[in-house]
Amino acid sequence: MRVGDLVEYSDTPEEAQGRICGIVTGVDKYTPRSKGYSTEPIVEVLWNNGMGWILQTRVTIVDIRVQNSPT
């Protein structure tokens, strides 16, 4: 995942907080205290309802390619 990707929220609907889709504006790593030295990738997203950081595993990239368009 990289800056500029269009993503959609793909985790549990109860935790969506109104987030539907957005554009990745930053990429980083998060080190949870409970996991010691292990890190998890996070992305900063300009959502349809504001800006925020989220675990990368909670979003999916939206494929906007049109099937019949020339490549």
Rounded to two decimals, what is the model's pTM? 0.81
Ramachandran area for residue 36 (φ above 0: left; ψ -120 to 50: alpha; else beta): left
Q: How many angstroms separate the CA atoms of 17 and 2, rounded? A: 23
Length, in residues, of the chain: 71
pLDDT band at 64 (very low <50, low <70, confident <90, very high): confident
pLDDT of residue 66: 58
Q: What are phi and psi of 5, to 5 degrees?
A: -65, 140
69 pLDDT higher than 60: no
Q: Has residue 6 got a pLDDT over 90?
A: yes
The tens digit of pLDDT for each residue in 20-42 reads 999 999 999 988 777 667 889 99
What value does the mean pLDDT take over residues 46-55? 96
